[in-house]
Amino acid sequence: MILVPVKNLENAKQRLSPLLDAPERFALAEAMLADVLAAIAGWRARPATAVVTSDSVASALARAHGFEILEETENRSETDAIDMATQLCETRGVAETLVLPGDIPLVTAEELQHMAASVPPQGTLFVPAADGRGTNAVWRRPAALFPLRFGNDSFLPHRRAAEASGLPVVVLKLEGIGLDVDRPSDLAALLASQHDCRTLRLLRSWCLQERLLAARGA
């Protein structure tokens, strides 16, 4: 099962507050999630998909694609929300989980298919963040092979935990999945992309490049 954890979109991306006001951060978070869900929907051979959230906008986007909603009513951290969802998968007999964040707007169905073709029959596949510190996708077979602990420097601890399982570990570096958006530098990298997606169209409508240049000169 694909699990997409989403916290309250209205409070998303606080680290971008020097550059974007609250309505803009909300619009950005919504657009990125819409792009991620559209990419998953475009992957014809995808596993079942669930959005783990209590956010009404995220739930509406999930319903628009026919995805399941796993209600997360306690406003847990991303790690705890995924723990809850993974336990539910185990009770259902789900054999594997792929965790994707909602802030990787350049992800494509082709990248997801590439992951599916590369994940070992038993073991783990990772896609690290572009800086090599974070974990932007993790595919576990079986579903709860090791616990996840997300954060800025999660990749190496995740990799050690996967290797400790004794099962194969595959690491893929993928341009789209590798770019998550947390800081102004991530927005600059996103704007430099030649891709077309809802998030990029939104950012370009804001003339954000000029703001980034002004921020650098401050």
Cα diameter, the chain:
54
Residue type, 54: S
Element spanning 172, H or E? none
pLDDT exceeding 70 applies to what percent of the chain?
Answer: 99
The confidence score (pLDDT) of residue 217 equals 62
- The 10 Å CB-count burial string (b at 16+, else e) for 36-59 is bbbbbeebeebbebbbbbbbebbb
Q: Is the pLDDT of residue 147 over 60?
A: yes
The confidence score (pLDDT) of residue 189 equals 92
Q: How far is it, in rounded angstroms, from Cα 42 to Cα 169?
A: 26
Q: How far is it, in rounded angstroms, from Cα 73 to Cα 80?
A: 12
Using pLDDT thresholds of 50, 70 and 90, give the confidence band for residue 218.
low
In angstroms, what CA-CA distances link 62 with 32, 131, 195? 13, 29, 23
The confidence score (pLDDT) of residue 82 equals 93
Q: Are 210 and 216 spatial neighbours (Cβ–Cβ below 8 Å)?
A: no
Chain centroid, CA 144 distance in Å: 18
- Of the candidates 102, 95, 22, the one whose C-alpha atom is nearest the C-alpha of residue 67 is 102
- Of the candidates 96, 115, 99, the one whose C-alpha atom is nearest the C-alpha of residue 167 is 96
Element spanning 217, H or E? helix 208-217
173 CB contacts (<8 Å, ≥6 apart)?
Answer: 127, 128
pTM comes to 0.94
Q: How far is it, in rounded angstroms, from Cα 25 to Cα 1?
A: 29
Q: Is the pLDDT of residue 34 over 60?
A: yes
Q: Is the pLDDT of residue 123 over 60?
A: yes
How confident is the model over 88-114, as a mean pLDDT? 96
Output the six-digit token pair for 73.
Answer: 């009513």
How confident is the model over 29-44, as a mean pLDDT? 97
The size of the chain, in residues, is 218
How confident is the model over 110-114, as a mean pLDDT? 97
